[in-house]
Amino acid sequence: MAIGTARWRSAVHEAAGLAVESIRVQTARSVLAVIGLVIGIVTVVLVASTLVGLRNSVAQLFRELGTDNIFAFHRNGDPYTPASDADASRRTLSPEDALTIARLGPSVRDVGVQVLVPAATTTRIITARAGGNESDSVLIEGASPNFFEVTDTPFALGRPFTETENRVAASVTVLGANVARALFGTTDPVGQSFLLGGDRYFVVGVLAPRKGTFFGENRNDNVVSMPVATAARRFPDADQTVIYVRAMPGLRESARTETETILRLIRGVPAEAPSDFNLSTADQIIAQFDSIGAQIFLATIALATVSLVIGGIGVANVMVISVTERTREIGLRLAIGARREDVRLQFLMESAILAGIGGVAGVTIALALGVVAAAIAPAFPALPPLWAVLSGVTSAVVVGVVAGYWPARRASLMDPVEALRYE
C-alpha cells in the first residue's frame, strides 16, 4: 500500500510538472484557450455577488419595517409606483380603517397609518427649503403618532409627534436622515423650521440612517413625515393610505386573517369574491424578491454555460494540438517504461491546470470589477459569496477535465513505435 501511494504521488508530481512546463511554453495559446472560461466565471460570480448583496440589503430593508407587521394597501405592488389597469379602479384604504382593525382584531397589538403625499403636482414639484439649502427629492408622508413605534423606527435626534399634535394638525415634522443633512447640514435640526411647498413646518425629530437599502438607497432616508391630520389639511388630495398592522407576539398569521376579514367587511367584499386589497409581510416580500432573483440567476447560469462550453472547446482544441505536437515525446516516454495511465494523467492534469488558471483568473477579475464598482458606488454589493468563488473555480476545473479526457486518452493509446516514427 505504501509503495502504491508513493508511486501515485510521484506520478502526480511528475505529471503536474510536465503540464505546467507545457502551459508555460505555450502561454499565448493557453490564454486564448481559456478566454471563454474566464468570461463565464466572471459573469456567474458578478451576478451572484450582486444578487446576494442586493437580497441581503432588501431583506434588511423590509425587516426594518417590522417582522411581526402586516402591510395593507388597496392595490398590489410598490405604493410609489403607478397602479396597474386592474388596480386603478380599487377604492383606497383610509385611516379610519386602521382604527377599526385595532378595535376588532384580538390578535392585533397596534395599527399604524402612513399616507403618501404626491411630491409633484400638475404645475410644480414640492420642494423643501431651509435658509439657502433646498431639496427637491423629498418624499412627503402623513404618519400616525404611533407609526414609528409600530415600525420600530430608530431616532437619531428628537421625538415622534404626539396625539395632541395630530389632533390639532400641528405643523410639525420628522425628517429622514438625508433630508435633515440636505437642509441643515451638521446643525441640529430639532426645533428649527423650514419651508415645504410654501408652508412653514417645525422639526421635532430626525430619524437615524436606515441600514437596509435597494441598490444603495433607502427611501425612508428621504422622507418628510407629518401628522396624518396635518397631511389631510395641507394635502387634501392625498389618499394613498398604507396600514401597518402589528401582531401580538407569535400571532402574526391570526392577525393577518383578522385583518383580511375586517377589511372585507368594511369594504363590502362578497364572500365568493377575491379581496380588493393586498396584504403582505416582510417575509412574503423577501420571498418574492428571492423568486425573481432565482430566475435572473438561472438565466445567468444558462448564458455562462455557453461561455463554459466555448471555453471547454478551446481547451480541448489546445490539448489535441498539444498531443499532436508531442507525439514523439509520448512515444519516447512509453518506450522507456512510462505506463499508459501516466501519459493519460499527464494530459488530464495539463487540461485541469489550464482550466483552473482560467477559473482563478475569472474569479480575480470579478473581484476586481466588484471593488471598482464599490469605489464608484459604495453601497454596491461587491463581495461575492464563498460558494460562488468555489463553484466558479470548480466548474472550470471540471470543464477542463472533461474537455481534456479524449485527447489524454488518445495520447495514452498511442503505439510507441509509430509515435517515435512521427515527424
Question: For the segment 182-191, what is each residue's pLDDT rounded down to a tens digit?
Answer: 999 889 999 9
- Residue 14 covered by a domain: yes
| Distance from the Cα of residue 283 to its chain's centroid | 15
- % of the chain with per-residue pLDDT over 70: 79
- Residue 1 covered by a domain: no
**What are residue 71's DSSP bridge partners?**
244, 280
> Is there a single domain that holds both residue 32 and residue 74?
no
The contacts of residue 236 (CB under 8 Å, 6+ apart) are none
> Is there a single domain that holds both residue 111 and residue 221?
yes
Residue 2, pLDDT score: 47
* DSSP structural state of residue 132: T
Residue 258 has pLDDT above 80, yes or no: yes
The span from the CA of 91 to the CA of 87, in Å, is 9
CB contact at 8 A, 151 and 69? yes
> Is there a single domain that holds both residue 87 and residue 225?
yes
- Tell me the residue range of the domain where 146 lies: 68-281
| Measured CA distances, 215 to 177, 208, 223, 374 (Å) | 17, 19, 18, 11
Residue 391, pLDDT score: 78
> Is there a single domain that holds both residue 410 and residue 302?
yes
More confident residue, 155 or 339: 155
Confidence at 417, pLDDT banded by 50, 70, 90: low
CB contact at 8 A, 62 and 212? yes
Residue 226, pLDDT score: 94
Confidence at 145, pLDDT banded by 50, 70, 90: very high
Domain finish residue from 255, 281, 307: 281
Confidence at 192, pLDDT banded by 50, 70, 90: very high
Q: Out of 11-15, 103-107, 123-127, which region has the weakest mean confidence (pLDDT)?
A: 11-15
Residue 16 has pLDDT above 70, yes or no: no
> Is there a single domain that holds both residue 275 and residue 305?
no
The span from the CA of 136 to the CA of 38, in Å, is 44
More confident residue, 211 or 236: 236
More confident residue, 165 or 397: 165
Structural domains counted in the chain: 2
| Measured CA distances, 187 to 132, 190, 206, 338, 353 (Å) | 14, 9, 12, 80, 60
> Is there a single domain that holds both residue 269 and residue 341?
no
DSSP per-residue letters across 298-367 = HHHHHHHHHHHHHHHHHHHHHHHHHHHHTHHHHHHHHHTT--HHHHHHHHHHHHHHHHHHHHHHHHHHHH
The span from the CA of 369 to the CA of 351, in Å, is 27
- Residue 3 covered by a domain: no
- Residue 45: which of 379, 304, 307, 338 has the closest Cα? 304
> Is there a single domain that holds both residue 272 and residue 155?
yes
Residue 326, pLDDT score: 67
The contacts of residue 77 (CB under 8 Å, 6+ apart) are 83, 84, 87
The span from the CA of 230 to the CA of 372, in Å, is 46
Average pLDDT value for residue range 249-268: 90
Confidence at 99, pLDDT banded by 50, 70, 90: very high
**Which of helix, strand or coil describes residue 242?**
strand
CB contact at 8 A, 172 and 163? no
> Is there a single domain that holds both residue 43 and residue 167?
no
Residue 300, pLDDT score: 73
First-to-last alpha carbon distance for the chain, in angstroms, is 41
> Is there a single domain that holds both residue 249 and residue 304?
no
Confidence at 158, pLDDT banded by 50, 70, 90: very high
**Which of helix, strand or coil describes residue 418?**
helix
Residue 3 has pLDDT above 60, yes or no: no
Task: Based on DSSP, count helices (H) and strands (E) in the chain, helices before strands.
Answer: 14, 12
- Residue 2 covered by a domain: no
- Residue 205 covered by a domain: yes
Residue 236 has pLDDT above 80, yes or no: yes
Amino acid at 71: F
Q: Dig out the grid coordinates for 218 from the structure.
A: 433607502
Give the pLDDT confidence of 280-291 residue by residue, as tens digits.
Answer: 887 777 777 777
Residue 354 has pLDDT above 50, yes or no: yes
Residue 296, pLDDT score: 73
> Is there a single domain that holds both residue 320 and residue 230?
no
Domain finish residue from 281, 301, 325: 281
More confident residue, 226 or 24: 226
- Residue 249: which of 67, 28, 400 has the closest Cα? 67
Residue 415, pLDDT score: 66
CB contact at 8 A, 230 and 167? no
Average pLDDT value for residue range 78-97: 79
> Is there a single domain that holds both residue 42 and residue 75?
no
Q: Dig out the grid coordinates for 279 from the structure.
A: 396584504
- Residue 21 covered by a domain: yes
> Is there a single domain that holds both residue 28 and residue 139?
no
Residue 12, pLDDT score: 60
The contacts of residue 374 (CB under 8 Å, 6+ apart) are 380, 382
Domain finish residue from 235, 254, 281: 281
Give the pLDDT confidence of 36-75 residue by residue, as tens digits.
Answer: 778 878 877 877 777 777 776 666 666 666 667 888 888 8
